[in-house]
Structure 1
Amino acid sequence: MAAHLLIVEDEEKLARFVELELQHEGYEVSKAFDGREGLKMAIEGDYDLILLDIMLPGLNGLEVLRRLMQDKPTPTILLTARDAVMDKVSGLDGGAVDYITKPFAIEELLARIRVALKLHGKNSAGALNTNDTEQNSEGIYTWQKLRLDEKKREVTYDGHGITLTNREFLMLEMLLKNKDIVLSRDTLLEKVCGYDYVGETNMIDVYIRYLRSKIDDVYDVNMITTVRGVGYVIKSEQQ
């Protein structure tokens, strides 16, 4: 079954152009032209990915994203003419999986869509991706008092909830699945951001720093170990 995408974009000509390109690639596409309509469709519908503009009438994209993440988390790529760093940070911290600034090349958008779908269990043709790292049957991964529930997409430490962005969750999940195995930055970049990722080369170090600030620093532990010149590892037993 083809992946179903929702475009929330008030520029109707742009929305139609992107819709035609996506349909040509084999995706099923729906559209909304303002924030309130987009939020309603996103919550009531069943979409594999949402392309969400920030500057929307009725309800801006960041507010749509905030409400969506609370009610029905769905992988979301932000589309916007605004390229301020704080807009990018707000969007990614709010739960968006990626951010692309207008004007953009359609080839880049399609590449980012493929990456986002692959990270969330779909390939570019919409089929289930069966090449992920082998997981345990319950989808539960632990380290000391930390617990990651893959199916519920929840992380807790000693019963206390930890709020992570999508990429932070994927990074932690990858490290926990491969305890005692040092994962290189390139490997993490490939698994967490995708083969086709186009972005900052220090992305992995940034997300490791975010994880440490939310887990290691808060609970006074040393969960993630840096192996200089190689990458990162979570060890079963910390010294």
Structure 2
Amino acid sequence: MTKRKVLIVEDDQAIAELERDYLEVHGYEVTLRADGRQAMEEALEQAYDLIILDVMLPGMDGFDILRRIRETKFIPVLMVSARKEDIDKIRGLGLGADDYVTKPFSPSELVARVKAHLERYDRLTGAAAGAGTLSVRKIRELNIRGLAIQVDARRVTLNGQEITMTAKEFDLLLFLAENPDRVYSKEELLDKVWGIDNFGDSATVTVHVGKIRDKIQKDPAKHQFIETVWGAGYRFKV
């Protein structure tokens, strides 16, 4: 069985080596990088299954690296930082991080998060079933006022123009679209969409809703899909 490849971007050598040792014990192939700019080039040029990305790095900070990664890749990215401010967490999630872990943390917890995010990614992409296999199947698609969501292909278009979304943005949009005209609280959405992979809090939902709106509601007068019900949660409008 091919080992899953993990890139750890961390300038604290002791922490990086500890993370590497725990992941290697659990069967992962790990590469370490300490310089931000070198790590960005590595992440863009090489094929990794998951990236663990520190925020504070020499050369280029983690937020800028994440921004560049998300321009072309949608593999799981876990951000780690000693900074506990909510604004940093919201910024990381807003840029497309799948998780945000605050130092200090248990290496065993990190391994659990890596495993959970890889399993979720496999479920979403069908990677576990074997990439490259072809099958003929009926395309399931939702169409709402110019917004088309191709469920199996995991594609979103608005008036024919493709909208790029992260895996979790797509999951959240699909769940709301498949359950229209019902109000869901942030806690319910966290449970329904993130489920057993939930390591976050309700701010995670707020960030993802905001990112989805930025992409599909550029003109709210024409394309208002996700409504805020103040004090209650969110509702998808058909």
Give the TM-score category using the shorter length.
Answer: 0.7 to 0.9
Match of 1:133 in 2: none
Q: Distance in 2 between matches of 1:84 and 1:180?
A: 34
Return 46-55 or 33-42, whichever deviates more.
Answer: 33-42
Query: What 5-or-longer segments of structure 1 have no aligned partner?
Result: 131-135
| Cα shift readout 1:164-207 (whole Å, capped 9, x = no counterpart) | 4542222113344x456979767743453240423325754664
Distance of aligned partners of 1:189 and 1:3 in 2 relative to their CA distance in 1, 3 Å threshold: farther
The one-letter code of the counterpart of 1:49 is L
1:170-189 to structure 2, matched below 5 A, reads: 170-176=171-177, 178=178, 188-189=189-190
Match of 2:25 in 1: 24
Return 113-122 or 41-50, whichever deviates more.
Answer: 113-122
Return 55-64 or 192-201, whichever deviates more.
Answer: 192-201
The SS at the match of 2:199 is coil
The SS at the match of 1:6 is strand
Per-residue deviation at 1:86? 2.2
The SS at the match of 1:99 is strand
CA contact (8 A) 1:111 1:196 kept: no
Q: Distance in 2 between matches of 1:94 and 1:204?
A: 14
Per-residue deviation at 1:161? 5.0
1:140-155 to structure 2, matched below 5 A, reads: 140-149=141-150, 154-155=155-156
Per-residue deviation at 1:210? 5.4
CA contact (8 A) 2:141 2:151 kept: yes
The one-letter code of the counterpart of 1:120 is Y
Distance of aligned partners of 1:119 and 1:83 in 2 relative to their CA distance in 1, 3 Å threshold: same
Query: Which TM-score applies when normalising by structure 1?
Result: 0.74
CA contact (8 A) 1:115 1:197 kept: no
Structure having the higher helix fraction is: 2
The SS at the match of 1:26 is coil
Q: Distance in 2 between matches of 1:5 and 1:62?
A: 18
Q: Distance in 1 between matches of 2:32 and 2:179?
A: 42
1:1-239 to structure 2, matched below 5 A, reads: 1-121=2-122, 128=128, 137-138=138-139, 140-149=141-150, 154-160=155-161, 162=163, 164-176=165-177, 178=178, 188-190=189-191, 192-201=193-202, 203-204=204-205, 207-208=208-209, 211=212, 215=216, 218-220=219-221, 221=223, 223-224=225-226, 238=238
Distance of aligned partners of 1:52 and 1:129 in 2 relative to their CA distance in 1, 3 Å threshold: farther
Distance of aligned partners of 1:206 and 1:13 in 2 relative to their CA distance in 1, 3 Å threshold: closer
The one-letter code of the counterpart of 1:17 is L
The SS at the match of 2:75 is coil
Identity of matched residues, %: 36
The SS at the match of 1:195 is helix
Query: What 5-or-longer segments of structure 2 have no aligned partner?
Result: 131-136
Per-residue deviation at 1:50? 0.3
Per-residue deviation at 1:20? 0.9
The SS at the match of 1:22 is helix
Per-residue deviation at 1:128? 1.4
Q: Distance in 1 between matches of 2:52 and 2:123?
A: 16
Q: Distance in 1 between matches of 2:4 and 2:195?
A: 18
CA contact (8 A) 1:75 1:120 kept: yes
RMSD value over aligned CA atoms? 3.6
The SS at the match of 2:122 is coil
The SS at the match of 1:198 is coil
Per-residue deviation at 1:99? 0.6
The SS at the match of 2:7 is strand
Distance of aligned partners of 1:71 and 1:89 in 2 relative to their CA distance in 1, 3 Å threshold: same
Q: How many residues align?
A: 227
Q: Distance in 1 between matches of 2:76 and 2:157?
A: 21
